Amino acid sequence: MHGQRLVRVDLATGGHELGELEGGPHYVGPVERALALSPEEDWTVLGHGPLGGSAVPGANHLTLVGRSPSWGALWPATLAGAGLPFDALGAGSLELRGRAASPSVLRVVARGGALSVELRPQAPGEAWRAGGAAGLLAALAEHHGTGLSSERILAVGPAAACTPYGALLSIVRTPARLGAATWVRHGGFGSRFFRTHQLVGIVLASDRSEVELLGRPVEAARRLLGAGLSLAELDASGGLPFAPELLAAGSLGRGLLEQGRDLLFANASSIHLGLEGRERFFTEVLWPAGVRPLLEALAARGAHLTCGAPCPVACFKQLDGQTLSFEAYAALGVGLGIVTPEAALPLMAHAERLGFEVLGLGGLLGWLMERLVLGLLEPGTLGLRERPRWDFRRFDAQADSAHNAAIARHLVDGLLAEPWAVPLGEGLRAAARRSDAASASLAVYLARGDAGEAPPLPAWSLGGLLPLAVPTEHHGLPATHFVPPRELGRRAAARMVSALMLQNLGVCRLHRGWAEELLPQIVDEHYGTRTDWLGLHRRLAHRLHRERASRFWESDRLVELVEGFLVRALHRGPPDGELDFWVRRFRHDRPSAARALWAELNAGLTEYFGA
């Protein structure tokens, strides 16, 4: 095994050092590397996997690992497509510590094999006012870009300065390939860059062309996946069907088709409608006014792009230049009582322009809006004149969606500038704890330790509410049907190990059908190593699990979500004695049943990982 080049940057001094991670029995990915570093120095690690820079589909993600400002623990996340230009640097790992003296941009540039690292001051205010995160990205390209054949720029938005929900925006800048703008949407990495490191962006650039990079042969992949690495070959050999709806409408379309009936409307208060009420709302309002027009517009005039890396699945879908995602529509559309695309898409675009993570923002806005609806908060205290319209039974899709979108946009802008937003600056959990009991009961978040929080993924499943070490980075098991809680805990733990392996090896999760089975063999054959990859990642996952400090569901709304899921599963599925037992127990004593269910989920996780 050859050595791996390391670039370590001390942002406090602007100094850097180049080193080698000595050759070992296997390729050391960024998650493994981050866990080996001293936690006291609070490192952020960026790196790609062992197949980064190759033509293997899905193998060119950039993985970031650092302490999440919202969750309060180590969090691995991925940036789609950014592993290709990172590989052009000839480095396996970029490691950051400390805090720059002033807002700065970090330039890491490779020319002729020589690597230069430079920290440059860059005040973000003017660019943010002109164009938000995208405006700053354009300013970084203008003032700090290189014009080289391979360049990737990362930037933060103004949300990173005043909330823990700051995302990272990135775009590929190579003459050979057009890619969609991509995001690090989980873990608060934009806020971490700005608050912890005082970085507003990073420029990664090299004079190595994409043709040169993709010429790197990976014969094991060609042999196992097929010579052309085409979509059909991946479909046949890997076991993950790339369904027509994924190709036509991306993850947004597939999510809407699979979960449209179970989208959580209006801060998840729609669970109180019951089965018939939710079905009626879907068939009479959400489908005709929201889901169907969105799918039809994508089919008629949608653009289909990759993340900037070579891949047969153009999973990024754009409508009139706006990249769409299921998470954004669920959290900032339906989740806020905004159904129509005409009302939801501009709000989604505005939130992303400001650099917000959509799940965290959606949870905070939903909590504020439901308090307004219920009279727990007066509109005037937030600079509003009216309350949201969340009457499920008399919902006017067009008028009420537009009304709610205007309120939500006012609140988004207020979070960045208004005095009333100061108590919300540390996130939903901190704000809920300072509120009255009735308001706190409505907050939807997963809790860690004394202060950590994470928004659950917008899928109504018990698997999405488990006490996992990394709760929303697709480490869970989003089962939409009932699985006995102890067994669900075991399955979720196994799913976490596989997800962590893909992140550590820099592979897109959409390719998990073939990657989880074949990737270890491909890597070992390519490098001439023999590694127990599953065992390695089980140990890494166990280490994260030991430090998770997860707390029981703190709000009544989360417990209601759990009970509602069980009731829905009872009516939808075949008879199940254990499911019937849990539903009856919740009906008899909800608090006690919730505690018992939580204990069973934890027991399953512990059985898999051990103490």
* H/E run at residue 20: strand 15-21
Q: Which of 315, 332, 336, 324 is nearest to 293 (CA)?
A: 324
Contact 294, 329 (CB under 8 A): yes
286-289 own/partner pairs: CB under 8 Å, 24+ apart:
286/260, 286/334, 286/339, 287/260, 288/397, 289/339, 289/340, 289/397, 289/398, 289/401
**167 and 64 in contact (C-beta within 8 Å)?**
no
CB-CB neighbours of 137 under 10 Å: 25
Q: For the ranges 42-46, 228-232, 523-527, 603-607, which has the lowest average pLDDT?
A: 228-232
Q: For residue range 585-606, list pLDDT tens digits in order.
A: 999 999 999 999 999 999 999 9
Residue 89 · residue 146 · CB < 8 Å = no
Distance CA 305, CA 506 (A): 20
Average pLDDT of the chain is: 89
Task: Give whole-number Cα distances, 420 to 158, 262, 384, in Å.
Answer: 17, 33, 12
Model confidence at 39: pLDDT above 60:
yes
What is the predicted pLDDT for the residue at 237?
39
Supply the pLDDT for residue 179. Answer: 53
pLDDT band at 459 (very low <50, low <70, confident <90, very high): confident
Given a cut of 70, whether residue 241 has pLDDT beyond it is: no
Q: DSSP letter for 174, please.
A: B
Burial readout 310-345 (b: 16 or more C-beta within 10 A, e: otherwise): bbbbbbbbbbeeebbbbbbbbbbbbbbbbbbbebbb
Contact 313, 242 (CB under 8 A): yes
Q: What is the reported pLDDT for 171?
A: 77
Please give the structure tokens belonging to residue 332.
């900032």
pLDDT tier for residue 151 given thresholds of 50, 70 and 90 = confident
Which 3-state string (H, E, C) describes 368-399?
HHHHHHHCCCCHHHHCCCCCCCCCHHHCCHHH
Q: Which of 308, 353, 283 has its CA nearest to residue 181? A: 308
Distances (CA, A) of 543 to 546, 559, 561: 5, 28, 29
Strand partners, 63: 47, 78
Give the Cα separation of 133 and 151 in Å (integer): 18
The Cα 297–Cα 289 span in angstroms is 12
Kindly write down the DSSP assignment for every residue of 51-120, as one continuous string.
TTTSSSTT--PEEEEEE-TTT-SEEEEEETTTHHHHHTTT-SEEEEES--SSSEEEEEEEETTEEEEEEE
DSSP E strand boundaries for 182-314: 182-184, 199-206, 303-305
Strand ranges of the sheet holding 322-324, from the earlier edge strand across to the other edge:
303-305, 316-319, 322-324
Burial of residue 394 (number of CB atoms within 10 Å: 0-12, 13-18, 19+): exposed
**Residue 77 clears pLDDT 80, i.e. is over it:** yes
Measure the CA–CA gap between 555 and 442, rounded to whole angstroms.
6
Q: φ and ψ at 481, to 5 degrees? A: -115, 170
User: What pLDDT sits at residue 309?
Assistant: 75
Residue 2 burial class via C-beta count within 10 angstroms: exposed 0-12, middle 13-18, buried 19 and up: exposed
Give yes or no for residue 14 having a pLDDT over 80: yes
pLDDT at res. 236: 44
Q: What is the pLDDT of residue 337?
A: 97
Return the closest-CA partner of residue 333 out of 264, 410, 279. 264
* Most confident listed range (135-139, 156-160, 277-281): 156-160
The whole-number pLDDT of residue 149 equals 78
Residue 137 identity (one-letter amino acid): L
Q: Looking at per-residue confidence, does 414 or 610 come out higher?
A: 414
pLDDT tens per residue, range 185-234: 899 999 999 999 999 999 999 988 777 777 667 777 777 776 445 544 45
Residue 85: per-residue pLDDT = 80
pLDDT at 249: 61
Helix (H, G, I), strand (E, B) or coil at 151: strand
Query: Any idea what the Cα angle at residue 332 is, between residues 326 and 336, rounded to 5°?
Result: 125
From the CB of residue 552, how many other CB atoms can be counted at a distance below 10 Å? 13
Structure confidence at residue 248 as a pLDDT band (50, 70, 90): low
Give the residue with greater pLDDT, 364 vs 511.
364
> Is the pLDDT at 57 greater than 90, yes or no?
no
Of 262-266, 312-316, 507-511, 597-601, which range is least confident?
312-316
Q: What angle do CA 302, 304, 309 make, to 5 degrees?
A: 160
Question: What was the pLDDT predicted at 11?
Answer: 98
Q: Measured between alpha carbons, how far is 344 from 495 in angstroms, rounded to an integer?
A: 32
Each residue's pLDDT tens digit, 417-455: 999 999 999 999 999 999 999 999 999 999 999 999 999
Backbone phi, psi, residue 525, to 5°? -65, -40
Bridge partners of 67, per DSSP, are: 74
| Percentage of the residues of the chain whose pLDDT score is greater than 70 | 92
Q: Give the model's confidence band at 299: pLDDT under 50 very low, under 70 low, under 90 confident, else very high.
A: confident
